[in-house]
Amino acid sequence: MESRHVISVLVENKPGVLARVSGMFSGRAFNIHSLSVAPTMSPDVSRMTVVTYGSEAIIEQIIKQLRKLINVIKVQDLTQGDYVDREMALVRVKATSSKRADVLRIVDIFRGKIVDIASDSMIVEITGGAGKIEAMIELLTPLGILELIRTGTVALPRGRKSTRYSEPSE
Q: Tell me if 168 contacts other proteins by CB under 8 A.
A: no
Nearer to other proteins, 14 or 113 (CB): 14
Q: For residues 154 and 8, what is the distance between their CA atoms, to the nearest angstrom?
A: 9
* Nearest approach, Cβ of residue 64 and other proteins (Å): 4
Q: Are strands 145-150 and 113-117 parallel, antiparallel or unpaired?
A: unpaired
Q: Tell me if 19 contacts other proteins by CB under 8 A.
A: yes
60: left (phi over 0), alpha (psi -120 to 50) or beta: alpha
Nearer to other proteins, 65 or 79 (CB): 65
Q: Which of 2, 3, 38, 64 binds other proteins (CB under 8 A)?
A: 64
Q: Are strands 121-128 and 83-94 parallel, antiparallel or unpaired?
A: antiparallel
Q: Which of 2, 60, 134, 147 binds other proteins (CB under 8 A)?
A: 60
DSSP 107-126: HHHTT-EEEEE-SSEEEEEE
Q: Tell me if 70 contacts other proteins by CB under 8 A.
A: yes
Q: Which of 31, 36, 40, 71 binds other proteins (CB under 8 A)?
A: 71
Interface ranges with other proteins (CB under 8 A): 12, 15-16, 19-20, 23-24, 27, 57, 60-61, 64-65, 67-68, 70-73
